[in-house]
Structure 1
Amino acid sequence: MKFIPQHLLLTALLCGGTGGTALAQAQDKKTVLTTFTILADMAQNVAGDRLNVVSITKPGAEIHGYQFTPSDLVNARGASLILNNGLNLERWFEKFTRQLGRVPSVTLTEGITPVNITSDAYRGKPNPHAWMSPKNALIYVENIRKAFVKLDPAGAKTFNANARKYSDQIRAVDTRLRTQLASLPKNQRALVTCEGAFSYLTRDYGLSEHYLWPVNAEEGQGTPRQIKAVIDAVRAEKIPAVFCESTVPTRGMEQVAKEAGARFGGVLYVDSLTDARGAVPTYLKLLQKDADTILKGLGTR
């Protein structure tokens, strides 16, 4: 069998597109598609060298309302499995699979107890960003492991060992983040963001949460009512810094910072990894980078 260097595997993982199909043909391995890059990174850690893992969406993409292309469908027809998040995250996924036809899919949030959204049109619906809790990430990994063992029983030993190792790494990051975020003074234990994508993280680490919109809005700016509500909260609680996500414009939150007398603390990563040269090329680095940005923004670093 022709050897394919590891850097090509990573390129296929992060770039998606025709590279994944060509790589699968060259290596004679089964290809697993994921709906976005974070799931691809998790899956690649479990798969090791036995499977090709390719993300449909590319680094930096806005995944809620992604507009899939004809080439996405062509590439997906060569896949053996598709992994999706569920919890209404990928609003395009049902249409995608309907047009695709017979490629099995697995929803990785099965078994997770969702945090429900409490405001606006999404009130009562599950917050889809469950991976922002390392504890939930362990459930993702277990669901990936089971899916891969079913897909490729001969690789069960590899998948089981990889899943154990990766789960240990997730637990280590969870412990580190818990210690670091616990250092925040009581009057600064508040996270203010554009999208309400951090409900699982704030729950895990004992922070309060404010946001402009619960799930990425079409316009990505926030309404005057939403902006005013966050300004009022930042003023009332004397929150020193506010943040926004990497996949949406920051103008609305910069307005909040200016009018509330707070700092704009920087960009947080939620829905997408960067490429290998960027700040968060892996899920574990995403969690740590966000924690570092929060701590620095709130003035404890």
Structure 2
Amino acid sequence: MPKYSGVPLAGALLALALLLSSCAPRSEAAPAVGGHRDDRPVVLTTFTVLADLADEVGGGHVRVESITKVGAEIHGYEPTPSDLVDAQDADLILDNGLGLERWFERFLLSVDAPHAVLSDGVEPLDIRSGDYEGLANPHAWMSPLAAQTYVDNIVSALSDLEPAHAADFHANGARIKVELAALLTELRDSVAAEPAAALVTCEGAFSYLARDAGLQEAFLWPVNSDTEGTPRQIREVIRFVEDHDIPAVFCESTVDPGAQQQVSLATGARLAGPLYVDSLSGPDGAVPTFLDLLRYDIRTISEGLSQ
């Protein structure tokens, strides 16, 4: 799905990673915490949303790190040699799956650690158009319902990694699932009375959230790194917004909203948001945690559609 470089680059990065990692034993690389070396197992995730979920379930018993950082666009990420070197410390690797992180295959080649795909067990929705039509839409974490499966998979993976703390992982997972269930209820209640029955975004990253809410979905392009913001895409969304009398359209925090601004100007619909999908914000931002991200997006969508 996302664009990525070919085998020669992957091979070069892998060779460099293995060379550098052989020069820096893991025991010397563990960071200090409170003056003491941090010997907790290292859980490596592909992006910040998954890292926050794993950290919440882990409850301090594991050290969670994300390959991509706050604000990064996940689809077309290009791993660096230092990413691969850092990955040598991983005791467990967690990724989304559903074709999201094609670049991640390089890490799996170079890291000898257990691996869990967090979307396993989620019923996927298909991408409806573009170069990847018919493939699975990878944005399942945006569903408060499907995200409960992510939590279950994290609980299982961490329990296998650290059986002594399995009871804590299960308790933390149960707490998070209660909060996700409450967000699902809030989502459905917030849009039930709205006359606008469609969610219009830049990327087609909200199919699972729209399904949970009972909303139609329209978007400019299906997947970031696909063809984005073409005149045809803009014309089709303008027609949809006009036909359905949509009061607000949205764009995501990690993409240029210029094409959606054209839709807004042509139709009079307000450009609301931004919405968050692929990345959390910093600790002082709007969505420092995954639950904050869902809560923020649900309320932003509800407020936009009620105008």
Query: Match for residue 4 of structure 1?
Result: none
- Pairwise mapping of residues 215-230 of structure 1 onto structure 2 (< 5 A)? 215-217=223-225, 221-230=228-237
- 1:233 correspondence with 2:240: yes
Structure 1: stretches of 5+ with no match in the other structure: 1-19
Q: 1:207, CA displacement in angstroms?
A: 0.6
Question: After the TM superposition, which segments of 4 or more aligned residues of structure 1 sit over 3 Å from their partners?
Answer: none
- 1:288 correspondence with 2:295: yes
Q: 1:94–1:23: structure 2 CA closer, same or farther, 3 Å change rule? A: farther
Q: 1:23–1:126: structure 2 CA closer, same or farther, 3 Å change rule? A: farther
Q: 1:97, CA displacement in angstroms?
A: 2.1
CA RMSD of aligned residues (A): 1.6
Cα deviation code 1:73-120 (max 9, x no counterpart): 11110110110000011121112322x232221100111110111112
Query: Match for residue 37 of structure 1?
Result: 48
Identity %: 53
Residue pair 2:30, 2:39 contacting (<8 A) in 1 also: no
Residue pair 2:202, 2:221 contacting (<8 A) in 1 also: yes
2:31 to 18, 22, 25: 22
Larger mean Cα displacement after TM superposition, 132-141 or 231-240: 231-240
Matching residue's letter, 1:285:
D
How many Å separate the matches in 1 of 2:301 and 2:74? 23
Residue pair 2:43, 2:63 contacting (<8 A) in 1 also: yes
Q: 1:158–1:285: structure 2 CA closer, same or farther, 3 Å change rule? A: same
- Pairwise mapping of residues 101-120 of structure 1 onto structure 2 (< 5 A)? 101-120=111-130
Query: Match for residue 15 of structure 2?
Result: none
Q: TM-score, normalised by structure 1?
A: 0.88
Query: Match for residue 57 of structure 2?
Result: 46
Q: 1:23, CA displacement in angstroms?
A: 5.1
Structure 2: stretches of 5+ with no match in the other structure: 1-28
- 1:66 correspondence with 2:77: yes
- 1:258 correspondence with 2:268: no
Residue pair 1:170, 1:284 contacting (<8 A) in 2 also: yes
Matching residue's letter, 2:123:
T
Q: 1:218, CA displacement in angstroms?
A: 5.5
Residue pair 1:189, 1:207 contacting (<8 A) in 2 also: yes
How many Å separate the matches in 2 of 1:216 and 1:286? 19
Q: 1:168, CA displacement in angstroms?
A: 1.2
Query: Match for residue 100 of structure 2?
Result: 89
Matching residue's letter, 1:74:
V
Q: TM-score, normalised by structure 2?
A: 0.86
How many Å separate the matches in 2 of 1:47 and 1:262? 43
Cα deviation code 1:113-165 (max 9, x no counterpart): 10111112111111000011111111000000010111111111111111111
SS of equivalent residue, structure 2 residue 298: helix
SS of equivalent residue, structure 1 residue 120: coil
Q: 1:211, CA displacement in angstroms?
A: 0.4
